[in-house]
Structure 1
Amino acid sequence: MSKRLQSKYKINRRLGVNLWGRAKSPINKREYGPGQHGQRRRSKPSDFSVQLMAKQKLKGYYGNISEKQFRRYYDEASRRKGDTSENLINILERRLDAVVYRLKFAATPFAARQFINHGHILVNGKKVNIPSYSLKDNDVVEVKEKSKQLAIVLDAVQSKERDTPEYLQVDHRQMKGSFVRSPKLNDVPYPVTMEPNLVIEFYSR
């Protein structure tokens, strides 16, 4: 088990939110941060800390993406036409691990990343083992035939914790779905409030 998998719920406690909306999150019982200083009184946050927190929430939600990679996504979003914050969400939601998670083929973004790494996912009929692979409109994502009866897949598909958003289509009997269109921020079913505009402010300082 990777270090990220072991420490994923520390992200929740550090940020003070139930980032993935899961019932087993420790933030449901302990709303303070981890460590010996977790319960100390917090002063009013500065503009910088508010922007930093917004970045950490968004970065953490997608499986705790590395800072280097997340910065590249910001740079790409800035180069595109239109609203930079909406562009950033669009780029993140096109990640293969995000789509596998949204389609409910995996219980968490971390599990989705591992599932892809182990070669269980096909894109347009071809095996793709790169979690950051960027999907195009109408790309088809499916679980490999030999992997469709794995307990982790069946449990994730049957979970009532979340629904598949409208910008994706899915057939859970065949364990196949597709990326239909670019989502707007309001289309994405985040369990907590995301503020990509503050992320843009953080990087554009």
Structure 2
Amino acid sequence: FDPHALIEGVGITCWTIGAERGYIYLRCEFKKGIATVQKAIDEAYAAGLFGEDVQGSGRTIHVSLTMGAGAYICGEETSLLNSIEGVRPYPRNKPPFPAVEGLFGCPTIINNVETITNIPHIVKRGAEWYAGLGCKDDPGSRLWCVSGHVKRPGVYEAETGFKLQELIDEHCGGMRGGKTLKCVIPGGSSSKVLLPDEVAQVTMDT
């Protein structure tokens, strides 16, 4: 994980849309990640990339790290906004949508870390480069999180379009202890349980 790609992506986003405030939201139990991201933010301020009159441009961009208590509901965007505001993290009625009236009543865009971290690479290499990664209908690379009885559980970055079986066998080293794969739950409790013959056919895209 490159924290500076995230910080740079937040800065580019703020600059592009004319925002003066950016917030990075992490669950409080991610102690190492919190320290890593905060250090990167501090370094960006020290380099003059955030703050008042950024690089002599007359523009103001402030970025801060906010910790949540780990509530599952904060995965819903308006619950997350309420959490940052310090109130009970319940979902808000829509409309108004966050892009119209979001954090502290201001227009707000919300993206996940994976999306924001891709921005500096796309700016540097171009949209055609990114569109050339992975499969045509869902280009780019993704972060694939794997847990369970595999030899190497973890987070793996790979281009879209490869087989789920490849993720398990090649990236994760196969099943732990020589066990036989029984099933895979690909997207949490709301997704279908995939049996081995289905796992062999599933393509990793969205």
TM-score, structure 1 length as denominator? 0.33
Higher relative contact order (CA 8 A, sep 6+): 1
Select the structure that is richer in helix: 1
TM-score, structure 2 length as denominator? 0.33
Select the structure that is richer in strand: 2
